[in-house]
Amino acid sequence: MSEFKVDRRTFLQMLGAAGATGAVATVRFPADMTAIAREANENRPSELWGRPFWVKAVPEVTLGMGEMTGDYQRWNPARDQFHSWSSYVGEAEAGRVSELGAKNEATWMKEGKPGFSLRDIALSNGANLVNMSNGPYGGADVGLQSWQPQPWTMGLREKAQALGVTYDVTPEEAARDVKAAARLYGSAITGITTLDTRLVYEFNGRGQAIFFEDVEAPFTDEEKCVIPSRFNRVVAIASRMSPEAFYRSPSQIGSAAADLGYSSMTWTSGMVAEFIRSLGYHAVPLKNDFCSTVAFGVLAGLGELGRTNRLVTPEYGPMVRLSVVLTDMPLALDGPIDAGIAEFCTRCKKCAESCPSGALSFEDNPSFDVPQGYEWVNAGHKAWWPDQTKCYSYWGEITTGCGICHAVCPWGKKDKAWLHDLSKTTAAATPMFDSFMRRMDDAFGYGLKNSDDEQKLWWELDLPEYGLDTTQAHKRI
């Protein structure tokens, strides 16, 4: 019989969960306690750093969605809806959507339609500045996403070398330091996983081939991007989006929240990479045009894969944007988590019901079977498969990104009401009340605020910086 130890932290986690969810939770507690105790005994102190007590470490991705079959290939983004939409929907449909989009844009600007007026578009443009400073999609080794140490970093390295000072810590301490730095730079949740090269695309958004080679430092040229094959760690970063702006989706205000998220991804991953380089290692900051940030996020335990085929975090739901830093720095690993999110997705389906284009799957469970003709997704793993062409056509018609599926997600609440904590704690412990909580989510009126009045009201709200309550889910301020 294996030895079963419960330390103080684990005991408090168990006690808290038991108190919050009552007798019902005991249905799943024996297995969960064993899992938590096992993880705690594996000496991985960084694993659940700063996470709610009801988020559990698990050895495998929930609902088997982390398994990749032999069919899984490195992705070529030329196949995605952004690059090949017109070939998927046909020239006639592409023409119709483009014409309608142009007409809508002109009409709404002239009318000053709330959420689509000139000032709303200007809001989105401003939020996109840092993101677009690297060029539209695929900006490798440029600007804030540089792959090389900056001049002041080189100066620090030389000074440290002259003084004989090195960053000599354990991988656990290094992981803690990277996470603390990432939080300062804007990461709401940071996790670390191993670098599975299959999750890095074959080409980036600009068509440069991506190679892993036996080189000292990463570099790019006109045709290719080369990453040292010794790189074996990925720092996954979640940058938050303003909920109050994103609830206005689909509109330019909602789009501004996403754009600001992309800008935040740019500076946060760039700064984390520079922090790592300042300590004497190599680091490559990347956004979602270069690798599957969602897969890395799931494997690093930032959240679980949801019905939208996107990451859903326990703390902020899907209201995050993801970036990563690849590195050769020795860092202690995190692992997948179970907060009951994927299980909740099997019953909730609010995103699929709310999707105006009908792009999201209504299947109860995720599947390895990709629907016929879905060339825009990467087969070889289990997921709920979205029809990205329907989604992107709708974007074209309304002249901006949509985001309704994220805005309506019951996990994307603010956290001041204790009812929300109780609901999430219960969902993490048992799926028994998932359907009831979904109905309560509807009854309480959470989700979209995209009426004309709400769009206009946004400009009157006295919101905090970046439209975010940065104390959400954190214990200290």
Smallest distance from the beta carbon of 345 to another protein, in angstroms?
Answer: 22
Binding mask 404-423 for another protein (x = CB under 8 A): ----------x-xxxx--x-
Q: Burial level of 460, CB count in 10 A (0-12/13-18/19+)?
A: exposed
Stretch near another protein under the rule CB under 8 A, chosen from 114-122, 380-388, 403-411, 440-448: 440-448
Q: Residue 296 has what DSSP assignment?
A: H
Q: Which one among 30, 70, 151, 445 touches another protein, defined by CB under 8 A?
A: 445
Phi/psi of residue 238, each to 5°?
-110, 120
Asked if 444 is part of the footprint of another protein (rule: CB under 8 A), the reply reads yes
E strand or H helix that includes residue 237? strand 233-240
Measuring CA to CA, which residue among 415, 418, 199, 384 is closest to residue 212? 199
User: Is the Cβ–Cβ distance between 340 and 65 less than 8 Å?
Assistant: no
Q: Per rule CB under 8 A, is residue 24 in the interface with another protein?
A: no
> 12 or 419, CB closer to another protein?
419
What is the Cα–Cα distance from 356 to 405, expressed in whole angstroms? 9
**Residue with smaller CB distance to another protein, 228 or 317:** 317
Nearer to another protein, 244 or 343 (CB): 244
Q: Is position 443 an interface residue for another protein (rule: CB under 8 A)?
A: yes
- Min dist CB 462 to another protein, Å, is 11
**Residue 22 Cβ, how far from another protein at the closest point, in Å?**
10
Residue closer to another protein (CB basis): 41 or 472: 472
State the nearest-atom distance from the C-beta of 122 to another protein, in Å: 23
Place of tokens 């000032």: 119
Nearest to 279 by CA among 389, 177, 200, 195: 177
Answer for which of 461, 475, 476, 477 binds another protein (CB under 8 A) is 461
User: Binding to another protein by residue 459, rule CB under 8 A?
Assistant: no
- In the bound complex, what is the minimum distance in angstroms from residue 417's beta carbon to another protein? 4
Integer Cα distance of 444 and 365 in angstroms: 27
436/444 with CB nearer another protein: 444
Contact map string, positions 326 to 365, toward another protein, x by CB under 8 A: ----------------------------------------
CB of 23 to another protein, least distance (A): 12
Of 85 and 411, CB closest to another protein: 411
Closer CB to another protein, residue 129 or residue 417?
417
The answer to whether the beta carbons of residues 339 and 56 sit under 8 Å apart is yes
From CA 374, how far away is CA 361, in angstroms rounded?
Answer: 12
Q: Which is nearer to another protein, 22 or 90 (CB)?
A: 22
* Long-range own/partner contacts, residues 256-259 (CB < 8 A, 24 or more apart): 256/120, 256/123, 256/124, 256/126, 256/127, 257/127, 257/403, 257/467, 258/321, 258/401, 258/403, 259/124, 259/127, 259/128, 259/131
- d(Cα 121, Cα 263) in Å, to the nearest integer? 16
List the Cα angle 438/247/358 in 5-degree steps. Answer: 65
> Per CB under 8 A, which of residues 211..240 are in contact with another protein?
none
Residues that bind another protein (CB under 8 A): 244, 414, 416-419, 422, 443-446, 461
